[in-house]
Structures are given as C-alpha cells and as structure tokens.
Chains A and B, each alone.
Chain A
Amino acid sequence: MSESVPRYWREIKIRERLIGSKCEDCGRITFPPRKVCPYCRSRKLTEVELPKKGKLLSYSVVRKPPAEFEKYAPYVIGIITLENGVNVISQLTDIDLKDVKIGMELEGVLRKYREEGEEGLIHYGIKFRPRIK
C-alpha cells in the first residue's frame, strides 16, 4: 500500500533524522514523536533529534514481508536502545542473519525503505548496521 504524498512529506524528517519528542514536564523522550506525552499526559512536547548509535536489544527475522519489502527478505527488524536510553524499532542492514547478536553495537544510516513502483516516490529512513568505527 502506498502512502499519500502529504503523509510521506510530513514524516520525512522523523524517518530520515530520527526526530522524536521530549516532554518538558517529565523529561521522557518518545519515538515517533507524540502530541501528548504517553507517560504524564503533558502537551508540552518539543522536537529532539535522537542519537544514531545504540545496541541491539531484541530482534525478529521477517521472512514473509508485505509485497513492497519482498526484495529485502529475509531481513531483521530490531529494537535498538540508543545512547540516550530511548528504544527505536528499525530494520537492520549490511548484515547476514547469522551475524545478528543481541547487544551488538549498531549505528544509524540512511537507506531506502521502499519504492512506490517504478514511477512513484522512493521512501527513505534510518536503518541500523554494525558499527564501523
């Protein structure tokens, strides 16, 4: 299913820069960003760019994905604990299934997520790969 162009446009910054929201009342950071803090119900939230380094907390191997992700299968979806303690869900890239280890050091890189056929938009976002340096 392709997204609407306005929705894609609204989410570019969130996906490509990992923009989350920080609650000015309780200090908790959430990703993706929220209008209302899920912890204290505050509406005083500001945008914050999340760090791109973290560790793999858990993962799952996707072997039967939706049609637009088929060319990447089998691939790994991981929960990554970033350096500031926030957990994000993301696809892993540049890695073989056999090399995926819980606790491994990862870093965020910009990659293609999916393409709306040959003529539509290309969707990009942050994926995580084993840290180079």
Chain B
Amino acid sequence: MKPLREVGILGFGGYVPMYRIKDEEIANVWNAQTSGLPVIEKAVPSQDEDVFTMSYEAAKNAIARAKISPNLIRAVFVGTESKPYAVKPTGSMLVTSLGLDNRSLAAEYEFACKAGTEAFQSAIALVGSGMLEYSMAIGADIAQGRPGDELEFTSGAGAAAFIFSKKSKETVAFLEHSVSYVSDTPDFWRRQGQKYPQHAGRFTGEPAYFNHIISSVKTLFEETGLKPSDFSYAVFHQPNTKFPLRVGEILGFPPEKIKPGLLSPVVGNAYAGIVPLGLSATLEVAKPNERILVASFGSGAGSDAFSFVTQEALEEKKNLAPLVSDYIKRKKYVSYVTYALYKGKIPR
C-alpha cells in the first residue's frame, strides 16, 4: 500500500517509565529457573502513569522534533490495549492536554500489539489522501500479565508518537511502501472485563508471530522488489529477545541490523508501544538515506510491514527532544513487592 501523495515522518518521540524490575527478581518470587529468561529487565510505570500520560510525553517529544505548532495536527490516533477508560477516548484527552485544534479526529485503535502500527496506517492515509496536512499516531501500552504467568516476565511499558506530513525537506524519513496482513489466529486474547490476557503457549510462535510477520515482509519484498540487503535496519515486534532475532534470521537480517531497535531485553514487551519505540530508537542512530524495515505483530493476528527511507533532516532533529536511550539509562530498580503495588496487583 502506498498513498496518492508521498508521506513522511515529520517528528517522532519515545517514552519509557523510570522504574525497572529484573526478570531474575520475578523468577525468584515464583521459584522459576533464572537461566534463559526472556528479557533482562522490564520497565514499570509509576503509580501516577497510564497510557494517557505516557502518550502525552511521547507526543510532546514528537512535536518538539516536528517543529510545528501543535494546533496544526488534526488527527490523533492511539493504538493500545490498556487505555485508562473503557469508554472515553484517550485521543480527545490528548487534543486538550497538548493544545491541539478541537477540529480534529481522535480515536483509539485496538489490535493487541500491532495497534500502534494500525494507527500509523490511518494517520498516513489521511495525509496521503490530502484530507489532512498533519496527523499523529501513537503506540502505547502498560502491558498486562497475570502474576506468575509467562507474560509477567516480559510485560513492560512504553510509548512512541509519530507525526506524519507530506514528504518534504523537513521530514526525517519517508514512507516507501507498506503491507498489512491479518487472519483469525487465536494465539492471545482478553475477554471483556477481564484484567489479564490468556495465551495459547507455544501456538503463539509459528502460526501466529512467525507466519504473519514473514507473510507481511515477503509481500512487501514482492511488491517493491526490495531485498534484505537493501535495508540498513529492521525493527520487528519483540515479545521477548529471541523471536525478533529468529524472524530476522529467517528473513535474512543479521542481528546487527535488528539490535538498535531491539528494546524488549531492557524495556520488556510494551505491547502496542514496542515497535514504534523500536523505530524511534532506530531513527536516533540512523544516518540520512538509510532504509528501515518495520514489521509489527498483533495477536489475533496480523502484521503491518513498512519500508521507510531516512532523510537529511533526521540529523538536525534527533537531539530536539530526549532520546529513547536517555529514558532507558534513567532507571531505578524496584523489588517485586513495589512492582506489584505500582501495577495494582496488590491493594493498598
């Protein structure tokens, strides 16, 4: 898929909460093995944070890099599965808190971990069709995992925001092509009113994660004629450390092209936020005229694949806001008890 007029990323910004818990600490609580853990540590939000506040900070950083007045942005889409209200849009809350024009579109997208890139597609389409000049897509989550469940070892938190405009000298990267690929694959779900998701164990691998990402990326290759060696970087969905490296190996991407955007080992899986956050981190190290492959995965299931090409403006705009690496360095470890308290797993 490609819009009628060329679209680029005008601004981008990430956010990671300050607190961390080591997987080893979680393993010790549940008498689990401390070898072969899926990530090293994961981000834990403070008690006063949620998807709205994390999205706000990521959006502020994106606006700083976009170098435009916020009231020019006329669409805010938030991809998440942990929005503060079941009914009350986070998008409209962001319009008011960021000082955007009230004549805006605002909505949430839900597609498990690919809701953020789903929001990308809509934000890109609005600008690409000429309906809007500027749109913003955010991926943000405070991932849920039942205490003691496998998911608890990886469920992290984070957000990233992207402002799209027509391609110009001001855009840091432009969209070359995209593909969306979905099917009914029940690998992970959460019923209405339930606090924690269910998952189908090993079934989440081959028929879900690998099949959908490989299908979207191979389709992108077929439709564009591009091959792995044409890309300097690749950002894959990262439910753990192993899967993105393995899917990269299958598709022909060596680890060094994946690692700049591989954040789950130190942030955890921030669900709909992790691929946008990985793209932010990759843009922070990329040079102009490099190609970046982005392939998300969302349970249920689907994958959005994008090819972005970086531009000259990237160099100048990188340091206009805190880097994802600044947020990753800013950390304070908490015990399992504090983590459980902050995440509302035990009442106060």
Contact at B48–A16, with CB atoms within 8 Å?
no
Partner-binding segment picked from B52-60, B214-222, B248-256, B275-283: B52-60
Q: Which residue of A lies closest to B15 (CB)?
A: A109
**Cβ-defined contact, A71 with B49, below 8 A:** no
Q: Interface size for chain B: under 10, 10 to 19, 20 to 34, or 35 or more residues?
A: 20 to 34
Contact A111 to B326, CB < 8 A, known contacts A13-B96, A16-B96, A17-B99: no
Please judge, given known A-B contacts A93-B48, A94-B46, whether A111 and B53 are in contact too, CB under 8 Å: yes
Q: How far is the CA of A12 from the CA of B93 in the complex (A)?
A: 9
Question: Does B50 sit at the interface, judged by CB under 8 A?
Answer: yes
Are B53 and A112 within 8 A (Cβ)? yes
Task: Count A-side interface residues using an 8 Å CB cutoff.
Answer: 21
Chain B: residues with CB nearer than 8 A to chain A?
Answer: 18, 46-50, 52-53, 56-57, 84-85, 93, 96-97, 99, 321-322, 326-327, 330, 332, 348
The 6 closest A-B pairs by CB, nearest first: A111-B48, A16-B97, A110-B56, A112-B48, A133-B322, A132-B322
A94 touches B18 (CB 8 A): yes
How far does the alpha carbon of A16 sit from the alpha carbon of B322 in the complex, in Å?
A: 21
Given contact pairs A109-B53, A110-B57, A112-B53, A132 touches B326 in the complex (Cβ within 8 A): yes
What residues on B are CB-neighbors of A127 within 8 Å? 48
Contact A111 B49 (CB under 8 A): yes
Contact of A49 with B by CB under 8 A: yes
Q: Using Cβ atoms and an 8 Å threshold, which residues of chain A touch B327?
A: 132
Determine whether the beta carbon of B97 is less than 8 Å from that of A124. Answer: yes
Nearest A residue (CB) for B329: A132
Beta-carbon contacts of A120-133 to B below 8 Å, as 1s and 0s?
Answer: 00101001000011
Q: How far is the CB of A33 from chain B (nearest CB, A)?
A: 15
Cβ-Cβ contact count across A and B, 8 Å cutoff = 52
- How far apart are the CA atoms of A71 and B47 in the complex, in Å? 8
Tell me, rounded to whole Å, the shortest Cβ–Cβ distance linking B135 to chain A: 21
What's the dominant secondary structure at chain A's contact region?
mixed
- What distance in Å separates the Cβ of A51 from its nearest Cβ neighbour in chain B? 13
Given contacts A72-B48, A124-B52, A133-B326, contact A110 B348 (CB under 8 A): no
Nearest B residue (CB) for A52: B60
Contact of A49 among B46, B56, B99, B322 (CB under 8 A): B99
Residue A83, interface by CB 8 Å? no
Q: State which of A17, A49, A109 has its C-beta within 8 Å of the C-beta of B57.
A: A109
In the complex, the answer to whether B99 meets A72 with C-beta atoms within 8 Å is no
A70 in the interface (beta carbon within 8 A):
yes
Bound: A118/B90 CA distance, A:
17
7 new A-B pairs (CB below 8 Å) besides A110-B52, A111-B53, A112-B47? A17-B97, A93-B48, A109-B53, A112-B49, A124-B53, A132-B322, A132-B330
- In the bound complex, what is the Cα–Cα distance between A70 and B321 (angstroms)? 33
Q: Which residue of B lies closest to A133 (CB)?
A: B322
Q: Contacts A94-B18, A132-B330: A112 and B50 contacting too (C-beta < 8 A)?
A: yes
Q: Is B85 in contact with A122, judged by CB distance below 8 angstroms?
A: yes
- Expressed in whole angstroms, the Cα–Cα distance for A127 and B321 within the complex equals 19
Q: In the complex, what residues of A have CB within 8 A of residue B96's CB?
A: 12-13, 16-17
A16 to B60, CA, bound (A): 13
Q: Note all chain A residues with C-beta closer than 8 A to B330.
A: 132
Q: A71-B348, A94-B18, A132-B326 are in contact. Are A110 and B50 (CB under 8 A)?
A: no
Q: A16: nearest residue on chain B (CB-CB)?
A: B97
Q: With A and B bound together, what is the CA distance between A18 and B21 in angstroms?
A: 33
B323's nearest neighbour on chain A, judged by CB, is: A133
Closest to B57 in A: A109
Q: Which residues of A contact B97 (CB under 8 A)?
A: 12, 16-17, 110, 124
> Could you list 29 A-B pairs, sorted by A, with CB under 8 Å?
A12-B97, A13-B96, A16-B96, A16-B97, A17-B96, A49-B99, A72-B47, A72-B48, A93-B48, A94-B18, A109-B53, A109-B56, A109-B57, A110-B57, A111-B46, A111-B49, A112-B47, A112-B48, A112-B49, A122-B50, A122-B84, A124-B52, A124-B93, A124-B97, A132-B322, A132-B326, A132-B327, A133-B322, A133-B326
